[in-house]
Every structure is written in structure tokens, then in C-alpha cells.
């Protein structure tokens, strides 16, 4: 067996071990946080200020509306349609 094959097998084993450890660690951390919230009586309002805020989204409707307004303005600048 070549060294490359051995290293790939080791990597696969380590990745699996890491995945399992993260899963276990996450569950343990969540249980600890829940216990502390209950112990100290934190409220949702207090926790919301600590939780990372979501990035503000740019409204897609506003950008498409701006394009429509621009197209409408361009059409009106050409003057009224002649029949």
C-alpha cells in the first residue's frame, strides 16, 4: 500500500471522528447554555441582543421598480405616440 493511500484512509478516519465530535460537542454545549439560561433566568429580549443579527437584504422589488420607472421615463421623453 502506498503512502498516499494510507494518508487518504487516515484523512477519512479523522474526518469521521471530527464529524462525530462536533455533533457530540454541539449537543453538550447546547445543553449547557439551556441550563445556564434557566439557572439565571434570562429572557428572550435579553438573548436577542446577544444573538448575531441577520444581514439586511437588499429589496429586489425596489431595484426592478427603479428599472421600470426609468424605462417609463425614457418612453415619455420621446413624446406622445402619433396615430
What is the DSSP annotation of the chain?
--HHHHHHHHHHHHHHHHHHHHHHHHHHHHHHHHHHHHHHT--HHHHHTTSPPPPPPPPHHHHHHHHHHHHHHHHHHT-PPP-
Q: Is residue 19 part of a domain?
A: yes
User: What's the pLDDT score for residue 61?
Assistant: 59
Q: Is residue 56 part of a domain?
A: no
pLDDT in tens, 22-81: 999 999 999 999 999 999 999 988 888 777 766 777 776 555 555 566 656 665 555 555
Q: Is residue 66 part of a domain?
A: no
Domain count, the chain: 1
Of the pLDDT bands very low, low, confident and very high (cuts 50, 70, 90), residue 5 is: very high
Q: Is residue 57 part of a domain?
A: no
Amino acid at each position: 500500500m502506498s503512502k498516499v493511500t494510507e494518508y487518504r484512509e487516515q484523512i477519512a478516519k479523522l474526518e469521521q471522528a471530527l464529524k462525530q465530535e462536533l455533533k457530540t460537542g454541539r449537543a453538550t454545549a447546547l445543553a449547557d447554555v439551556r441550563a445556564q439560561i434557566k439557572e439565571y433566568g434570562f429572557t428572550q429580549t435579553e438573548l436577542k441582543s446577544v444573538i448575531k443579527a441577520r444581514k439586511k437584504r437588499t429589496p429586489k422589488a425596489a431595484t426592478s421598480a427603479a428599472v421600470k420607472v426609468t424605462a417609463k421615463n425614457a418612453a415619455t421623453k420621446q413624446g406622445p405616440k402619433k396615430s
